[in-house]
């Protein structure tokens, strides 16, 4: 009578676990390529993010942000600010153009692309993950860029108005007008519900925290089975 001896359940589960090293090697190959394409196609990468920020600004801050445009990977938006009744100026308002480099907010895109392609799943599942993940990342990135926009309105509006008036040939009233513009910008944000505390939290969270972790969190959520099946690297002797 032949008998088959089954290995203990723990040993069988251990045999079915996947090696971590092939995934790491694949990630090392795909991530640099993903970052290269991310930079080469930077105008395309930031386009949906700038579009989302422009739409939110037009709905939420139409009295402040009058237009939003794109120049390669930079967003250019125009802020209309009040200068007050300052003697020596032809008017009481001025439009100031501000630039924001959107690309640093978007580096989670190549991280998600590289990790997803390196994961040993079918190309169909990889495509589904990217189709779901990239729009989510665009919303997250737009959140961070909008925080940058608000931060510049709150803190940079005065100096920008000062420089613009000096370049336009109004050096004498520039200081007073810049002070009024800075106060107007801060007050306008508070009127829209953006307090200094909220602004500081928004900017730090959107710039320092979300970009590095958002792609990794999505990848983990998409590939929990694969991650649970990974066998850790052996310890060095």
Torsion of CA 39, 40, 44, 50, to 10 degrees: 30
119, 23 Cβ separation under 8 angstroms: yes
Q: Which pair of structure tokens corresponds to residue 82?
A: 């009040």
User: 60: exposed, middle or buried (C-beta count within 10 Å: 0-12, 13-18, 19+)?
Assistant: middle
**Confidence at residue 19, expressed as pLDDT on a 0 to 100 scale:** 74
**Confidence at residue 3, expressed as pLDDT on a 0 to 100 scale:** 43
**Confidence at residue 87, expressed as pLDDT on a 0 to 100 scale:** 81
Q: Is 224 left (phi over 0), alpha (psi -120 to 50) or beta?
A: alpha
**Confidence at residue 236, expressed as pLDDT on a 0 to 100 scale:** 53
Q: Which residue numbers in the chain have pLDDT < 50?
A: 1-16
- Model confidence, pTM: 0.85
Q: 74-82 and 65-71 as β-strands: parallel, antiparallel, unpaired?
A: antiparallel
**Confidence at residue 231, expressed as pLDDT on a 0 to 100 scale:** 65
**Confidence at residue 18, expressed as pLDDT on a 0 to 100 scale:** 65
């Amino acid at each position: 009578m032949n008998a088959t001896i089954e290995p203990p359940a723990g040993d069988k589960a251990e045999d079915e676990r996947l090696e971590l090293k092939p995934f790491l090697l694949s990630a090392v190959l795909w991530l640099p390529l993903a970052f290269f394409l991310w930079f080469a196609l930077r105008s395309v990468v930031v386009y949906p993010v700038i579009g989302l920020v422009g739409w939110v600004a037009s709905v939420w801050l139409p009295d402040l942000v009058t237009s939003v445009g794109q120049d390669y990977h930079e967003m250019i938006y125009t802020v209309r600010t009040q200068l007050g009744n300052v003697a020596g100026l032809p008017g009481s308002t001025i439009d100031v153009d501000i630039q924001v480099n959107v690309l640093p907010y978007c580096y989670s895109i190549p991280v998600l692309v590289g990790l997803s392609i390196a994961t040993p799943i079918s190309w169909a599942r990889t495509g589904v993950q990217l189709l779901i993940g990239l729009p989510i990342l665009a919303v997250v990135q737009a959140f961070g860029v909008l925080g940058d926009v608000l931060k510049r309105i709150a803190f940079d509006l005065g100096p920008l108005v000062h420089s613009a008036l000096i370049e336009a040939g109004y050096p004498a009233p520039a200081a007073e007008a810049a002070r009024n513009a800075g106060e107007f910008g801060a007050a306008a944000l508070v009127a829209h519900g953006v307090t200094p505390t909220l602004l500081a939290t928004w900017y730090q969270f959107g710039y320092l925290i979300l970009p590095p972790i958002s792609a990794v969190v999505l990848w983990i959520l998409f590939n929990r089975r694969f991650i649970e099946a990974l066998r850790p690297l052996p310890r060095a002797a």
